Amino acid sequence: HVCTHIFERNLRFLSPMLSLGFAGSSALVVGSRAGHGSRMSAPMMANVADTLATMQGPDLYWEEIGPLQDPPKEESDFKEYDTFSTFLAACQQHGVDLTQPDITVLAPGNVACEQFSAVAGPLTKAVCEYHVIKGVVNKDSLGSADLTTVEGSTITYRRMFRKDFLDNAFCGVKASPPRTSYASNVKADNGLIHGINEVIYPGWSESSGGYGSEGDAATRA
């Protein structure tokens, strides 16, 4: 009788704990399934503007100014990731909508925008619109797709030096440090993003001379 009494007392003590354990494990399993199912059934992506605001830009290296630092840096040492804040701010200022459906945006980083502005002034509305292609164009389709922009002009595609060139800029190039890489086929819920190394602009032609011509940095890369 004493043994029976101890057993019953222990059973009463353990039963709530066992119930909680099973309930907890069931909740975990159900919760994980629900979470997995919701991700599969309703994938959430940001639009182009929000994606550009949060994604890492081109990788930058110290290059020729590395040895001048204190302490000195190697030219091939990583410095930082660029961002797209200058391009985004210009688009916002000029009312260029990067949330409209079915677009491909050619995104220049801040360094590219600074280099352009030093020669040609701030990014205008037309320049910003020229970076937005009507339709979703994969990098592999750039050579055959219609590259008409929201601005109204059409971008020129060339394949040179094992790179895809869009006017004066190359697009989506993977490189080894200290050369910078540029992303491509970055998905957003309203289109695609391709990184480019220079700002492009309406009216550019290979024989026009000046910024973006045959002697420009893009063709020497």
Q: Residue 31: what pLDDT?
A: 40
Q: Residue 6: what pLDDT?
A: 44
For the stretch 21-43, pLDDT in tens is 444 444 434 343 444 443 444 45
For the stretch 173-212, pLDDT in tens is 998 777 889 999 999 999 999 999 999 999 998 876 444 4
Q: Residue 43: what pLDDT?
A: 58
pTM of the model: 0.73
- The full 3-state SS of the chain, as one line of letters, equals CHHHHHHHHHHHHHHHHHHHHHHHHHHHHHHHHHHHHHHHHCCCCCCHHHHHHHCCCCEEECHHHHHHCCCCCCCCCEEEECCCHHHHHHHHHHCCCCCCCCEEEEEECHHHHHHHHHHHCCCCHHHHHCCEEECCCCHHHCCCCCCEECCCCECCEEEECCEEEECCEEECCCCCCCCCCCCCCEEECCEEEEEECCCCCCCCCCCCCCCCCCCCHHHHC
